[in-house]
Amino acid sequence: MQVHFGVDQLQAEWPKALVCVGTFDGVHLGHQAVIRQSVSHAREAQEPAILVTFDRHPAAVLAPERCPPAIASIPANLRMFESLSVAVTVMLPFTYDLSQTSAEDFYQTILVNKLRASAIVVGHDFAFGHGRLGTAEWLKERIETTIVPPFELDGLRVSSSAIRAAILDGRVEHARRWLGRPFELFGVVVPGQRLGRTIGYPTANLARSFNQAVPRDGVYACEAQTDFGVFRAAVGIGVRPTIESDGQRTIEAYLLDFPGTSLYGTSMSLRFLKRLRNEERFDSVEALKVQMESDVALARIAG
Nearest residue to 287 via CA among 199, 226, 215: 199
Cβ atoms of 268 and 206 within 8 Å: the answer is yes
CB 218 within 8 A of CB 251: no
Give the pLDDT confidence score for residue 154 in this predicted structure: 84
Dihedral sign from CA coordinates of 266, 211, 31, 28: positive
pLDDT at 43: 97
Instruction: Name beta bridge partners: 238.
Output: 250
Mean pLDDT of 130-134: 89
Residue of higher predicted confidence among 192 and 290: 290
Task: Tell me whether strands 152-153 and 156-157 are parallel, antiparallel or unpaired.
Answer: antiparallel
The dihedrals phi and psi of 47, each to the nearest 5 degrees, come to: -125, 155
**pLDDT band of 74, cuts 50, 70, 90:** very high
Buried b (16+ CB within 10 A) or exposed e, 232-251: bbbbbbbebebeeeeeeebb
pLDDT score of 21: 96
Distance CA 252, CA 202 (A): 9
> Is residue 292's pLDDT more than 90?
no
Average pLDDT over residues 222-241: 92
Pairing of strands 152-153, 204-207: unpaired
Q: Tell me the whole-structure pTM to 2 decimals.
A: 0.91
Per the model's pLDDT, the better-predicted residue between 69 and 261 turns out to be 69
Q: Going by C-beta distance under 8 Å and a sequence separation of 6 or more, which residues neighbour residue 69?
A: 164, 168, 211, 212, 213, 214
- The predicted pLDDT at position 196 comes to 57
Sign of CA dihedral 1, 45, 36, 125: positive
What is the model's pLDDT at position 200? 64
Mean pLDDT along residues 24-42: 97
For residues 236 and 155, the model is more confident at: 236
Shortest CA distance to 112 belongs to which of 7, 34, 35?
7
What is the mean pLDDT of the segment spanning 245-258?
A: 86
Question: pLDDT tens-digit profile of 263-284?
Answer: 999 999 999 999 999 988 877 7
pLDDT band at 197 (very low <50, low <70, confident <90, very high): low
Contact 204, 252 (CB under 8 A): yes
**CA–CA dist 241, 252 (Å, integer):** 14
Average pLDDT over residues 118-142: 93
Q: Specify the higher pLDDT residue, 124 or 81.
A: 81
Q: How confident is the model at residue 199 (pLDDT cuts 50, 70, 90)?
A: low
**CA pair distance 166, 164, nearest whole angstrom:** 5
Listed range (168-172, 245-249, 263-267) with the worst mean pLDDT: 245-249
- What value does the mean pLDDT of the chain take? 92
pLDDT of the residue at 70: 96
Question: What number is the average pLDDT over the span 208-229?
Answer: 95
Q: Which residues sit opposite 97 in a β-bridge?
A: none
User: CA 24, 27, 32, 35: dihedral to nearest 10 degrees?
Assistant: 40
Give, to the nearest 10 degrees, the angle between helix 172-179 and helix 160-168: 150
Residue 261's pLDDT band (cuts 50, 70, 90): confident
pLDDT for 303: 77
pLDDT at 244: 63
Distance CA(86)–CA(88), nearest Å, equals 6
For residue 273, give the nearest of 221, 234, 233, 235 by alpha carbon. 221
Which backbone phi and psi does 228 adopt, to 5 degrees? -110, 10
